[in-house]
Amino acid sequence: MIPFACTALALPAFLDKIDHASSTVLVVEDEPFVCELAAEALMDEGYRVLTAADAWEAEEILARESVDLLFTDIDLARNTNGLALAQHARCQCPDLPVVYTSGGRAGLPESEQVSESVFVPKPYRPSQLVALTNDLLRRAHPHHA
């Protein structure tokens, strides 16, 4: 396990009823350590996690896999970016929850992001990512709660 500092997060009891194993999160991050940290936190929560290092790889995954949430860095390897990736993903799945992240930006103007998406600046705590994922997927799939 990768060591990292985070505070314990007490989740409401009803979150225990969410079937995380039936939800798939695609993590798109070109920094291997950051990608591994995010993926491990989500897997520890019980999610099925797929990873990609750039938008091209992520688009290949989206073409063959059913994904319940997209978590993407904005500036990715091979001159690809998470903004275009999210737009492409939403064309395939209009209700797909999207979470953007970036270490080079403090925020993201609404005009640059897909509707009803969320921006999380780096550095973020893995517990923040897990709590946000739980919340977004609970809202997207209320029948799981």
Give the pLDDT confidence of 68-113 residue by residue, as tens digits: 999 999 999 999 999 999 999 999 999 999 999 999 988 999 999 9
In sequence order, the 6+-apart residues with CB closer than 8 A to the CB of 46 are 20, 21
pTM of the model: 0.85
- What the chain holds in terms of domains, given with CATH numbers, is 22-144 (3.40.50.2300)
CA angle 19, 21, 23 (to 5 degrees): 85
Give the pLDDT confidence of 28-55 residue by residue, as tens digits: 999 999 999 999 999 999 999 999 999 9
Report the interhelical angle of 126-140 vs 32-44 (nearest 10°): 60
Give the alpha-carbon dihedral of 73, 79, 83, 84, to 10 degrees: -140
